[in-house]
Amino acid sequence: MPPDETTINYIKGREFAPKGTDWDKKLAYWKSLYSDKDAIFDLELKYDAADIEPQITYGTNPGMGLGISESIPELASMRKAIRLLTRKL
């Protein structure tokens, strides 16, 4: 699917983004991408962003995030969870 204007504006001018005429060529290519009108997907998810609670992170990986109304886990419970997880690996 083609990128939207928000994505294009985010990428443009970044360090590793194409520059000059390369940008124009890549942008034209990206805008040519699309899903077939009759494409069938295994799963389509639709969300209303108003239903998603704002999130915060308290650590260094995506699993260390939670809704702002939740409490950050106690360190002891985190250590226990890590021990349990590493046993399964």
**pLDDT for the residue numbered 89:** 58
Mean pLDDT score, 50-67: 87
**pLDDT for the residue numbered 62:** 76
Residues of the chain with pLDDT > 90, as a percent, come to 47
Q: Which residue has the higher pLDDT, 39 or 17?
A: 17
Written as one letter, the residue type at 45 is L
**pLDDT for the residue numbered 26:** 95
Question: Secondary structure of the chain: what % helix, strand, coil (to 5)?
Answer: 40, 5, 50
Query: What gap in Å lies between CA 89 and CA 82, rounded to an integer?
Result: 11
Q: Which residue has the higher pLDDT, 74 or 53?
A: 53
Q: What is the DSSP letter of 21?
A: H
To 10 degrees, the CA torsion angle through 30, 35, 44, 5? 30
* Single pTM value for the model: 0.45
